[in-house]
Amino acid sequence: MKPKVLFVDDEAELLESVRDALRKKPYRVVTANSGAEALALLRSDPEIRVVVSDERMPEMTGHELLAKIRAQYPESVRIMLTGQADITAVVSAINDGQIFRFLTKPCPADALHDVVTQALDVADSMSRTSVSDPDEFLRQTALTLLEERHPGIGAVERDGSGRIVIDDRPTDIDALIAPYRV
């Protein structure tokens, strides 16, 4: 059985275009026109593992919806896809909804598919490892991906008491860039 991904947007045309663009992918697209409809679908269908929501919708914003989903379905992986978001909405989505990714409209179908596939992989990993704290799992997954892309980024030096040591000695810029000079 194909895993299910829920897309939430008050624009029916957009939901239809997402469904069309992703119809041949290895997951099933389910849609909702509002936050209330999305919550009802999640209550009735435990197979939904990933939720992709717009921000600006009547009655319930995307970040409010994703925060509710996080509280009620912490094992879900949440993505924000929006064309109009202010910084407050972005911060709320990240802090309250613990979103996996933030995407902007228009989003190419292949980029959307790639992010949904990554989210399904994370959801699958969480279910296989019996994670007790999904938020911590998502943080660790993000750190692992960052470390793979940027080796050493997560390295932190600590002193004997566990405090982080910050090297505030002046840096010799010429010495740092010397190997890259032509």
Give pLDDT, residue 151: 80
Token digits of residue 173 = 């810029």
pLDDT > 80? residue 14: yes
pLDDT (mean) for 70-86: 86
pLDDT > 80? residue 145: no
Contact 58, 9 (CB under 8 A): no
pLDDT > 70? residue 34: yes
Per-residue pLDDT band for 123 (boundaries 50, 70, 90) equals confident
Q: Report which DSSP code applies to 101.
A: E
pLDDT > 80? residue 179: no
Q: Between 40 and 105, where is the model more confident?
A: 40
pLDDT (mean) for 109-113: 93
Give pLDDT, residue 170: 64
Give pLDDT, residue 172: 74
Q: What residues contact 141, with CB distance under 8 A and at least 6 apart?
A: 122, 125
Cα separation, 69 vs 42, whole angstroms: 9
Per-residue pLDDT band for 85 (boundaries 50, 70, 90) equals low
Average pLDDT score over the chain: 84
pLDDT > 70? residue 84: yes
Contact 50, 120 (CB under 8 A): yes
Give pLDDT, residue 64: 92
Give pLDDT, residue 157: 80
Domain boundaries, the chain: 4-149
Structural fold of domain 4-149? Rossmann fold (3.40.50)
Contact 91, 63 (CB under 8 A): no
Give pLDDT, residue 97: 65
pLDDT > 90? residue 32: yes
